[in-house]
Amino acid sequence: MPELLTVQQVDPWLQFNPYIVSGYRPRMTIRAALRSFFGWHNESFNIWTHAIAACFVFYLTLFPPAMDPTATTTTTTTTTSVGSGGAGGVTAMAAAALPSYGRRWLGTSNEHLAGANPTTAFRATCLVFIAIFICSVVYHLFMPCPTSEVSYRRLMNCDVTGVVLCITATSWSFLYRGNACSAGWTSHAGFGAVLLSGLFVLYCVLFNATCGAIGRLKAIGFHCALRLSVLLWIELPKVQSQGYHQALHCHAMSYVFIALGGVIGGFRFPERQLRRVTQPQPASSAAEATATSRFWRWVGRFLVSSEEIDYMWNSHTLWHYCIMLSTTMMLLGFYYDVEEYELARC
């Protein structure tokens, strides 16, 4: 592993977060970047977390969750027969096994919708998540390889494409399994809106050379907001009419984690706050230190060191943690969408 650099020593297009001051890899070849997968630098946790997440989702692809649909219900019934000529009734108590309710759980459904049964759709959703995690690993692993800002933007577009693909393709569960009692056209209309939005965002991000970080944030934020609107349009009537809310809660929590990660990244938390209070201050400024600055100095002294901020606990690493939690909630939302779809009675 070559000697690591500071933020002032790397290429200008890699200096987008000046509060991460150390741990940068020098410019290297693709082969050297591959070897750095096992090295220790400020992108190590970003690479490892999503590589581990990809492996876990791949396991779910091979072994999707399944439940036993053969459960039966036993009840006691009372029958009364009335004889002819006014004879008294004879009452008999018998335990009768009701026919099993054919719930089409994951792994057992033969019903096809949009060309796939729930098991196939669940595996396809897992493959989408694997794709976004692989795109993220590729981006972070080969960041030192581009020799110009143009080539770096092409590499970054790989990561952006994975994000937009994930937002669009994972809408399948709530669009076609979100509400069994909704009209068929609502699912197709929602899918069309999400698909057109995804294509528009990809066009703006990939083919617009003037689209910077703020532009990408606005475009992807618009896409997420539209997806959330379609989700509520499909799922809320189910909650109100049938009382099934587990899937909606999981989908909502996935948005909470995404929003939390976005806020953390936007405020460069916590590296921005820690760097500001740890910089040398004039004596007059030190005397006027507020309670907030004293708190952050205490955090930087006793809880998180400067190296830990650069390597493990900076805003982008926390964003990766939030994405993993959001992915977990999306998969749970898919699972409960299928379950509640089969339980629905219209």
Q: How many residues does the chain have?
A: 346
Q: Are 296 and 274 in contact (CB under 8 A)?
A: yes
Q: Which of 45, 4, 133 is nearest to 315 (CA)?
A: 45
Looking from the CA of 152 toward its CB, the CA atoms found within 13 Å total: 16
Say which residue the tokens 């959001």 belong to. 326
Tell me: is residue 188 an annotated ligand-binding position.
no
DSSP 283-332: HHHHHT--HHHHHHHHHHHHT--HHHHHHTSSHHHHHHHHHHHHHHHHHH
Tokens of 160: 């952006």
Q: Is the peptide bond before 270 cis (omega within 30 degrees of 0)?
A: yes
Cα–chain center distance at 311:
23
What is the distance of C-alpha 101 from the center of its chain?
Answer: 33
Handedness of CA 159, 161, 164, 167 (dihedral sign): negative
Residues tagged in the binding site annotation for Zn(2+): 140
Q: Per the annotation, where are the binding residues?
A: 140
